[in-house]
Structure 1
Amino acid sequence: MECVILAAGEGTRMRPLTADRPKVMLPLVNRPMLEHLVCAVRDAGITAIVLVVGYGEREVRAWFGDGSRFGVSIRYVTQRHQLGTGDALMATKGLTTGRFLMLNGDMIVESDDLATLCRTDAPCMGVHESDHPQDYGVVTLDGDLITGLEEKSKHPRSTWINAGVYLFDQEIYARTEGISLSGRGEYELTDALEGYIREGRLRAHPLGTWMDVGSPWDLLDANATLLAGMGEVREGVVEEGVVVHGKLVLGKNSVVKAGTYIEGDCIIGEGCTVGPHAYLRGSTTIGDSCHIGHSVEVKNSIIFAETKVPHFNYLGDSVVGSHCNFGAGTKVANLRHDHGIVKVNGRSTGRKKFGAIIGDHVLFGINCSVNVGSVIGSYSLIGPHSLVEGTLQDRTVIR
């Protein structure tokens, strides 16, 4: 069998983190999101993969190559214009034979679920129960038969959602060729599935583990889940006087200096310096070549490669891009005074604790304060003693 993975989208909801990289290359536990999916497909017994690429395709091709590094064979097809999932599927026509899996590239799924799905008859859709189904395509069921599919209904008729996991055979191409542009200006795969539903042929396969990674705060949940499933490996140096509770994954050529207190689960990449007297709280991921310095506290955050948080800083429940630098005393708040749900650009995160989304190459002066739910665009310069609230566009300068 082959597996088609849709990895062409920019991920506008992930801005500014996707300004210089496609969404599928955002890191989770220091590996691109897409790598976790490729490995799950491989572990399900499928080694022939077709990646549909587009935005940022050079980075995807450079990382995955022909797939041999990951024990699979990868072919690529470019979706020139992002015109929907139906258009992405049609780009793979002639590259699959017989039955094949098709997966959205922005999710976490278990290999056991994929292996079980492969043993069913096509067509079949992976479904998952959600406590906020209004944000997804809602599926109605009669046993394992799908009887209805509606996109992002304000009044969902079910808690089951379309998980973006499919088992198809070659018939799907003919059905997709016949669909028209939707009101959103896209060729929607769901339009092709309506025929199967009317004929009583589309079956549902409940997924035991599934996580959507469509928004920046979803990265924190997925990161915590993946960290919890990792084994402990320490390839760097942990000096005397360091206290570690819970799981620590420490990369090569990294040093954790004396006086540092770590509450796992945490992962520290290669070539990092942490401490002295730093405080890392779970579930935190620190990318390669980072510096987390004296009296710095980091909690439940993802810090991309080559970022420096060196002196008397606090960073909680946040996602920070690469090549950033925090001036001494700069802090990111992560809790509203009224303990209400944090919103970002008017969108609910569903979280009472969420800090900021900070793009790449952001430089802070000393003693800056970043309020909850803030978004700071890439290449921004934040002057000393500044208060940051709301959303700053890329290359904003605050003096």
Structure 2
Amino acid sequence: MSTIENAYQIAKARFAEIGVDTDAAIFAMAKLPISVHCWQGDDVAGFEMQEGELTGGIQATGNYPGKARTADELRSDLDKAFSLIPGPKRLNLHASYLESEQKVDRNEVKPEHFANWVNWAKQHQIGLDFNPTYFSHPLSNEGTLTHVNPEIRQFWIEHGKACRKVSEYFGKELGTPSVMNIWLPDGMKDITVDKFSPRQHLVESLDQIIHEKIDPKYHIDAVESKLFGIGLESYTAGSNEFYLAYATSRKTALCLDAGHFHPTEVISDKISAVMPFVEHLLLHVSRPVRWDSDHVVLFDDETQNIASEIIRNKLFDRVHIGLDFFDASINRIAAWVIGTRNMKKCLLKALLEPTEKLKKYEHDRDFTSRLALLEEQKSLPWQAVWDQYCLLNEVPVGSRWLDEVRQYEKTVLTKRS
């Protein structure tokens, strides 16, 4: 028996003392796929064959060498990252990651432009999620679905409709529903007089986009709010209140992004607040440092609290976990691996909590025992369970994965100009 397996047996016995079955926790991880975001690998550039910088408040900071320049390079990088991350995964794509030999405008996006991604997903036996791309386009500079010009609004409505067809295609081909998330950066930099009209336009535009019914076993609509963005500091049409009302009234999924709220707000506290009113919740787990800066996810208190809310309330089938960060200051594959493994660590640690015992203490008003057990369990050997989980999934244990990333960087990434 290996050192890792020996440590696991000891940990298993320790957790059994507080009524936790570690084997069952490991088994439950199979129900919790993480949707890994493609845009970490190329700094949100996409493959549309068009020139121009990122707009809409999107920024990828850093210039670490070796970013993906083509879809094939991006898939190769994802292959490496996925080989180092244990358990089930998905991939989250933006519309701007289409593949075509001719330029395709946003309102002309079709399923065929993502056939290579579907074939790749089938090889990995994973699902795909999707996002319309409402930024970095000549017609997005002054708004999209809220634009004062109805012709420009119609262009972006057609983009949303086209993207739903792509998302449905993913669901039909891969046998798992694709969650399609709508986020747009429409707003204003300075004092805004008319905040109502753009929001009326946004309601009308969204209603047109989702008008056609699509079977939820193939496709799920989601809408995502934001507090502010660079160049949109004073007013964002798609605020939290707007999209919470829209999602509950239109029966779409609601997306909560960890970086899209005031600095003292956390999305972990919002999960139980919105779940009585929405059927599906999409999470974009990120790490805001001073604003929506999309740093790599850490094994920190908030990520653990997010995981605990999902596990404690048995929301396996209603909460969809996605990641959303793009750090170009470090090796991009390492960023994927660090962030995704941390999210999975938090989920496994949450599964190792004696939740029913803690709830009983709480319901019995025994707050002393509740606090004591919450604190004592923090020092139990959960890391040994994580190592066993990695071993069972045939991925490197501990930081050994970094050796593979460094070798890939040496043989592949450094050769990219």
Higher RCO (CA < 8 A, seq sep 6+):
2
Q: TM-score range by the shorter chain?
A: under 0.3
Select the structure that is richer in strand. 1
